[in-house]
């Protein structure tokens, strides 16, 4: 978008709304185990708020706020949280080998408390991964491709 085409109203409304959208997405992620929502839904909402930032300001500014290295770190961290909790469940299940049976984790003194805490951790991992992937898909689709050598601009 050219500098003279930018809208002060869109930028101002986005600047005000983006923190509230992100706060709502964190609520959806953390309360997914006890109500509607979860890591996937909250991750999509959080990723959408980052896409709104790119649309409201500029592609270059959005890419500078969320570079590829941060995207890779978030997506892999979320995956490691999910897989790590699943593997810990196998290790602590005393030979039963129950992947993602959260009750076996020694997080609290109660079986139900372990389940609730581990579910929240898994939802956070899923939310991180989904946020990173949604933003990555957007940047991949929005990137302008340079014409290859030998190809005209009309191809």
Contacts of the segment 84-88: beta carbons below 8 A, 24+ positions apart: 85/118, 85/121, 85/122, 85/125
Evaluate if pTM is beyond 0.95.
no
Structure tokens at 118: 């581990």
Per residue in 34-59, pLDDT (tens digit) is 777 789 999 999 999 999 988 888 88
Per-residue pLDDT, 152? 56
Per-residue pLDDT, 61? 81
Per-residue pLDDT, 149? 63
Q: Which residue has the higher pLDDT, 119 or 144?
A: 119
Averaged confidence pLDDT in the chain: 84
Concatenate the DSSP letters of all residues of 26-43 into one string. Answer: HHHHHTTTTSS--HHHHH
3-class SS shares of the chain: helix, strand, coil, % to 5:
70, 0, 30
CB atoms < 10 A from the CB of 42, how many? 27
Q: Is it the case that residue 93 has pLDDT exceeding 90?
A: no
């Amino acid at each position: 978008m050219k500098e003279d085409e930018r809208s002060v109203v869109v930028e101002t409304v986005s600047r005000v709304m983006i923190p509230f959208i992100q706060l709502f997405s964190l609520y959806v992620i953390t309360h997914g185990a006890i109500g509607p929502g979860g890591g996937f839904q909250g991750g999509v909402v959080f990723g959408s708020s980052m896409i709104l930032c790119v649309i409201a300001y500029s592609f270059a500014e959005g890419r500078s706020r969320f570079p590829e290295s941060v995207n890779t770190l978030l997506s892999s961290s979320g995956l490691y949280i999910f897989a790590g909790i699943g593997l810990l469940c196998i290790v602590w299940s005393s030979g039963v080998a129950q992947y993602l049976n959260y009750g076996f984790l020694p997080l609290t003194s109660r079986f139900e408390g372990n389940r609730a805490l581990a579910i929240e951790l898994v939802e956070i991992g899923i939310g991180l991964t989904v946020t990173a992937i949604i933003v990555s898909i957007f940047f991949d689709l929005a990137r302008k491709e340079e014409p290859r050598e030998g190809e005209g601009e009309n191809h």
